[in-house]
Amino acid sequence: MDKLVIEGGRPLDGSIAVSGAKNAALPILCASLLTEEPLALTHVPHLNDVRTMRTLLSQMGVRIEESGGGHMTLEAARIEWPLAPYELVKTMRASILALGPLLARCREARVSLPGGCAIGLRPVDQHVKGLQAMGAEIDLDHGFIAARTTRLKGVRFVFDVVTVTGTENLLMAATLAEGTTILENAAREPEVVDLAECLVAMGARIAGAGTDRIVVEGVDRLRGASHRIMPDRIETGTFLAAVAAAGGEATLTDARPSSLESVIDKLAEAGATISTTKDTIRISRKGALAPTSLRTAPYPAFPTDMQAQFMALATRAGGTSVITETIFENRMMHVQELKRLGADIEVEGSTAIVRGVPRLTGANVMATDLRASACLVIAGLVADGETTIDRIYHLDRGYERLEEKLATLGATIRRVR
- Kindly list the residues in this chain that would bind ligand EPU in the complex (CB under 6 A): 23, 26, 93-94, 120-127, 161, 163-166, 303-305, 327-328, 370-371, 398
Which of 143, 313, 136 lies closest to 240, judged by CA? 313
What is the closest distance, in whole angstroms, from the C-beta atom of residue 289 to ligand EPU in the complex?
24
Decide if 117 is catalytic: yes
**Ramachandran angles phi, psi of 117, nearest 5°:** -145, 170
Smaller CB separation from ligand EPU, 169 or 284: 169
Smaller CB separation from ligand EPU, 55 or 273: 55
Those residues whose C-beta lies under 8 Å from the C-beta of residue 310, and which sit 6 or more positions away, are 241, 266, 292, 294, 323
Identified catalytic residue from 106, 117, 198, 375: 117
What is the closest distance, in whole angstroms, from the C-beta atom of residue 129 to ligand EPU in the complex?
8
Smaller CB separation from ligand EPU, 191 or 403: 191
Smaller CB separation from ligand EPU, 154 or 303: 303
What is the closest distance, in whole angstroms, from the C-beta atom of residue 119 to ligand EPU in the complex?
6
Cα dihedral sign for 130, 133, 134, 140?
A: positive
What is the closest distance, in whole angstroms, from the C-beta atom of residue 194 to ligand EPU in the complex?
11
- Three-state SS for 70? coil
Helical pair 99-106 and 164-175, crossing angle rounded to 10 deg: 10
What is the closest distance, in whole angstroms, from the C-beta atom of residue 255 to ligand EPU in the complex?
17
Compute the half-sphere exposure of residue 289: CA atoms within 13 Å on the CB side of its CA.
Answer: 30
Q: In what order do the strands lie in the sheet with 137-141?
A: 83-84, 108-112, 144-148, 137-141
Smaller CB separation from ligand EPU, 182 or 301: 301
Q: Distance from CA of residue 414 to its chain's centroid?
A: 25
Query: If you ran DSSP here, which 8-state letter would residue 232 be given?
Result: -
Q: Distance from CA of residue 164 to its chain's centroid?
A: 10
Give the amino acid at 265.
D
Active site residues: 117
